[in-house]
Structure 1
Amino acid sequence: MASQAARGGVSLPERRPAKRQQPDSDTILAKLTNSEIVSKGKRAACDTAYVTKRLLRSTGKAAWIAGTTFLILVVPLIIEMDRDQQLTELELQQQSLLGAPPIGAPQK
């Protein structure tokens, strides 16, 4: 290298190894993010999010089952009961127009 410097070359200084930060010189933010309390809080938040997601998914499935069951079984029953009530009212109206005594009235 000395021969290169004599001929006009440039010699670079030797590189020193980079200083590593000692655990004592960590910043407050790094200490907080690496603390046990923060890691437990993150774990609790992840567990809560997982349970909430599963609960919402199962609640959605249960709501779908209840809704379709209601539409298939209960709505036709309600329609049929309403139809029967309308038919009964129509019969009572026709009997009153024809002059027949109402059903359940005592005969003389």
Structure 2
Amino acid sequence: MASSSSSSNNEGILARVSNVVSQSPVLYRGKQVASDAAYVTKRLLKSTGNAAWIAGTTFLILVVPLIIQMDREQQMNELELQQASLLGAPPVSPSK
């Protein structure tokens, strides 16, 4: 019988300690800080995603066509030089 009363006494102590810890203002504040940090992180990731979307679409709309046009211009210059050399004209240095 002594072992069962000792066992229930230990469970009572564990329950009281658990109750005190769960109602601790430090634990409550820690949970609140963790919740606030999660909210801020979520908002930051959403804002970063939006900024990445804007930067990516801007790059596709403005920069990619410019790169394509510059490549075409370079190819045209090379083609003109090649045609001039085939026709026997003196090579002309490409203008920059």
- TM-score, length of structure 2 as denominator length: 0.79
The number of residue pairs the alignment matches comes to 79
Q: Which residue of 1 aligns with 2:22?
A: 33
Match of 2:47 among 30, 42, 58: 58
1:89 aligned onto 2:75: no
Per-residue deviation, 1:37: 0.9
Gaps of 5+ in 2: 1-14
Higher helix share: 2
Flag as ranges the 4+ runs of structure 1 deviating above 3 A.
Answer: none
Q: Which residue of 2 aligns with 1:19?
A: none
1:78 aligned onto 2:67: yes
Gaps of 5+ in 1: 1-25
Give SS of 1:27's match: helix
Give SS of 2:64's match: helix
**Relative CO higher for 1 or 2, CA cutoff 8 Å, sep ≥ 6?**
2
Per-residue deviation, 1:99: 1.0
- TM-score, length of structure 1 as denominator length: 0.70
